[in-house]
Amino acid sequence: MKVLITTDWYKPAINGVVTSVCNLREELQQRGHEVKILTLSRTARSYEEEGVIYMGSVNAGYIYPGARLRVSPGRELYRGIIEWNPDIVHSQCELSTFFMAKKIAEECKIPLVHTYHTVYEDYTHYFSPYKKWGRDMVQFLTRQISEKVDSMIAPSTKIETLLKDYGIHCPVSVIPSGIDLSKYDAQTRTDSRERIRRKYKMDRKTTVLLYVGRLAKEKNVEELLEYQQKVQESGTMLMIVGGGPYLETLRKKAAELGVTESVIFTGMVSPAEVASYYPAGDLFVSASTSETQGLTYAEALAAGLPLLCRRDQCLRAVVEEDKNGWQYRTEEEFLKDLKNWKEKEDDEHRGMCSYAKQSAEIFSKKRFAGSMEQLYQRQIEEKQAEREKHLAKSRQYCILG
């Protein structure tokens, strides 16, 4: 089948949407499907390159750091998509490219499915000083989008519940986004652990709490810095891998808390290198509750890192207490769970790491693509049946007339 994936975010940006799109495209192509990406150019120029169609765009950082808004894609580019005649459109974002996705689906008379990647309630501070107003607007706009698509995809049961609470008007399927598990083989883990620890001058015996992700206010990384103040004396270090608009604020916070010597900020790391940082840690930590699924959680598990994360519904079917990690609600619980890990014997550590790796299998990109392939086929068949039913009615009216 021919699949058009539309997304406001694409390489070289680094986030969960980009990871999901790239893995999905790669796996669908390996299954013999033809896949094109429609995304935003980093300039006002529109062009196509290696199956990726870039629409000219302008900076919209006033909405969200790094965001862009499309300008007219150009008649030639648009007609090229229509003539390619995709079988289905899969939208990944709710802004610029969504409206193009809808227009293309309508003209080609094909299904439009949409993945809801973002808990926008946690991001309203970027454009609204009033939380309730922001939440109401998010609910209204989400319902509007649901009226324009044939089906929505939730990366987790957390998002499925959220969408149903919003009162959306279309079917919802829960399909976790997939990752490339092959990046986290045992040899990579051993080599990377030693290399990264040497690079940042960390002792083999040091307990390293690892955070990987974009540094933004909604990620609540300050909480990890505050907890680090309580544990740094026990030989524990916090490694924060990633960049973002909140990096300098966090550096200042670390200095204020007196944890500069026990916190490592790596800054932005290239996508090709991120996988090699996971083995340097002993536990993966996160204080965020804004994740839809949390692909970094899946990556950490695949690398054999147990999780120590703030309790969140997206982890409900992922974290098994004292088997592949813990979820905490308070500082007291965080400290207790960390102490529990430190008091375990080496063979218990190995057991938890092994189980963490096993539990990542549900996030395989092959499994992800297989589930999406089935959904696409079902939607195409339903749209075809709908067209045939409409055609039959039209013929009936003609005969009666």
Helices 221-231 and 247-257, packing angle to 10 deg: 20
Q: Are residues 321 and 230 in the same domain?
A: yes
pLDDT at residue 157, as a whole number: 93
- CA-CA distances (angstroms) from residue 327 to 220, 249, 289, 370, 382? 15, 26, 11, 30, 41
Angle at 74 between CA 72 and CA 76, to 5 degrees: 160
The token duo for 196 is 């990264």
pLDDT at residue 287, as a whole number: 98
Low-confidence ranges of the chain (pLDDT < 50): none
pLDDT at residue 139, as a whole number: 93
Condensed to tens digits (0 to 9), the pLDDT of residues 320-375 reads 999 999 999 999 999 999 999 999 999 999 999 999 999 999 999 999 999 999 99
Find out whether 138 and 124 touch, Cβ atoms under 8 Å. yes
Residue-wise burial string across 294-329, b where 16 or more C-beta atoms lie within 10 A, e elsewhere: bbbbbbbbbbbbbbbbbebebbeebbeeeebbbbbe
Residue type, 55: M
Quick check: helix, strand or coil at residue 163?
helix
CA pair distance 269, 214, nearest whole angstrom: 10
Name the CA dihedral angle for 108, 371, 315, 147, rounded to a multiple of 10 degrees: 30
User: How much of the chain exceeds pLDDT 70, in percent?
Assistant: 94
Q: Are residues 211 and 296 in the same domain?
A: yes
Q: Are residues 222 and 150 in the same domain?
A: no
pLDDT at residue 122, as a whole number: 72
pTM above 0.75, yes or no: yes
Residue-wise burial string across 340-354, b where 16 or more C-beta atoms lie within 10 A, e elsewhere: ebeeeeeeeeeebbe
pLDDT at residue 125, as a whole number: 55
pLDDT at residue 293, as a whole number: 86
Q: Are residues 217 and 301 in the same domain?
A: yes
Find out whether 333 and 309 touch, Cβ atoms under 8 Å. no
Q: Are residues 217 and 353 in the same domain?
A: yes
Q: Are residues 63 and 128 in the same domain?
A: yes
Find out whether 51 and 33 touch, Cβ atoms under 8 Å. no
pLDDT at residue 187, as a whole number: 56
Q: Are residues 206 and 223 in the same domain?
A: yes
DSSP string, 2-16: EEEEE-S--TT--SH
Domains contained in the chain, number: 2
- Contacts of 345 by beta carbon, 8 Å cutoff, 6+ apart: none
CATH number at residue 303: 3.40.50.2000
pLDDT at residue 363, as a whole number: 95
- From the list 245, 5, 285, the residue with the least C-alpha distance to 123 is 245
Q: Are residues 330 and 223 in the same domain?
A: yes
Q: Are residues 23 and 150 in the same domain?
A: yes
Domain range for 298: 181-363
Q: Are residues 383 and 331 in the same domain?
A: no
Strands 34-40, 2-6: pairing kind: parallel
Residue type, 94: E
Q: Are residues 128 and 258 in the same domain?
A: no
Q: Are residues 188 and 327 in the same domain?
A: yes
pLDDT at residue 147, as a whole number: 97
CA pair distance 244, 399, nearest whole angstrom: 64
- From the list 94, 303, 37, 118, the residue with the least C-alpha distance to 196 is 303
Find out whether 292 and 155 touch, Cβ atoms under 8 Å. yes
Find out whether 380 and 88 touch, Cβ atoms under 8 Å. yes
- From the list 292, 273, 277, 363, the residue with the least C-alpha distance to 120 is 292
